[in-house]
Structure 1
Amino acid sequence: MPKSLDHIALVVREPARSAQLFAQVFDDARVEPGEGDHDTLVWLGGVCLVLVRGEPPATRNGDHIAFAVDKAEFAACAERLRAAGIACLMARGDSALYFDDYDNHVFELDVVEGG
């Protein structure tokens, strides 16, 4: 049986640019160089995103990565996304926010109960 999620690898055109987006949106994002010059690691909420240089998906689909946040972080991230010029889609009575990175990957911010 798996013990935990180790990492999520995402293929992106420019790993450093993608890492910068996460660092701009999430106060607690930790960015580190990966192995070699072809990838970058971004730690968010205890999960490592491995950003690998390559040709990303041509289109979006229903796949996405969701992060649980409290209401204050939700509002702060939404503002940072808008400031970065990243379009956001609010859902479920404004308790969920969806956004795309530069490479057709979709992310969700989901307000946790009591947050």
Structure 2
Amino acid sequence: MADILLKITHLSKNYGKQVALSDISLEIPRGSIFGLLGPNGAGKTTLIRILNQIFLPNEGEILFEGAPLAPSDIIHIGYMPEERGLYKNMTVGEQLLYLGQLKGLSRTQAIEQLH
């Protein structure tokens, strides 16, 4: 059996009466590349936001490397949205600097990483 990096079990998320995710379970083996495909409204963005701990699920469990997903785990999770929707008045470099600092880098470290 493959080494499981991420295991999601019976994950559900509701926004009031609107069901965004309903009983989702999946396993992602270590070393794999995994994508989410589906039509608008299928729950892809909601799942990614839960994995990045922007939202909390209503039900279910997420294990990362065999332990419950923790705030410190988000540094190991990549997310590439279809379009950049953060701060449209900032350059890409300014956004990278800002995001690097959000991830715990000093301004100097973030600038070094950009070069």
State the structure with more CA Rg: 2
Give TM-score, length-normalised by structure 2.
0.26
More strand, by proportion: 1
